[in-house]
Chains A and B, each alone.
Chain A
């Protein structure tokens, strides 16, 4: 399958600081990238959908000023958690869709980023 690389895999930051997470599609161009948050033993919660060159579409209840998403190129999307607080600690996962027309589009995931805010 296609490769999606997420960086960093694990980060600890102080409360009040900002953290940037990168999501790269290494061997394909991703017109759409998705950002998810996952709490322990729970499913993936979609935070936002990001299309290259346009503003991200945020799900209801997700603060767009707190979770800044930039999708400046077809291979890179970034999620910045601004002024992080302990309740933002979570597992963040990105996904990139590899377009093949609507008959063969697939989505691949990064390995996830474990964020701990202390």
Chain B
């Protein structure tokens, strides 16, 4: 099946620093999604990317859909303590007859040091 390689696995950064994480795959996806998960909660969608090469921002977050459709990155600028959490990338692939397959990366755990 499809697999996503998400890196880094975890990060410790100082408050105010920028953060970058990425996902790569051997498969092509129609949509790339980035989520953040707080402990004990379901993941919350941060950014959705639909077109190869697309660059989308949501506040301090910026994400890009790789031109090959096999990768994506997420940047967080000027990190703050509430950015702490686990960030997941996900690739959505259309599998025919109105069905979709959603594949997740293993997550990047972000810790922000005040």
Binding site for B on A (CB under 8 A): 1, 4, 6, 31-32, 34, 41-44, 46, 49, 51, 91, 93, 95, 97, 99, 102-112, 114
Contact = CB atoms under 8 A, between A and B. Distances in A.
B65 to A, nearest CB: 12
Given A1-B45, A93-B43, 8 more contacts: A51-B98, A93-B42, A97-B92, A97-B102, A105-B30, A106-B92, A109-B42, A112-B41
Contacts of B45: 1, 106-109
Nearest to B106: A43
B35 A46 contact: no
A46 B100 CA distance: 13
A114 B88 contact: no
B47 to A, nearest CB: 10
B82 to A, nearest CB: 18
Contacts of A1: 44-45
A44 B40 contact: no
Contacts of A108: 45
Given A102-B94, A103-B30, A110 B102 contact: no
B35 to A, nearest CB: 7
A34 B101 CA distance: 9
B16 to A, nearest CB: 26
A111 B37 CA distance: 10
B11 to A, nearest CB: 15
B76 interface: no
Given A34-B102, A109-B44, A102 B88 contact: no
Nearest to B46: A1
A109 B43 contact: yes
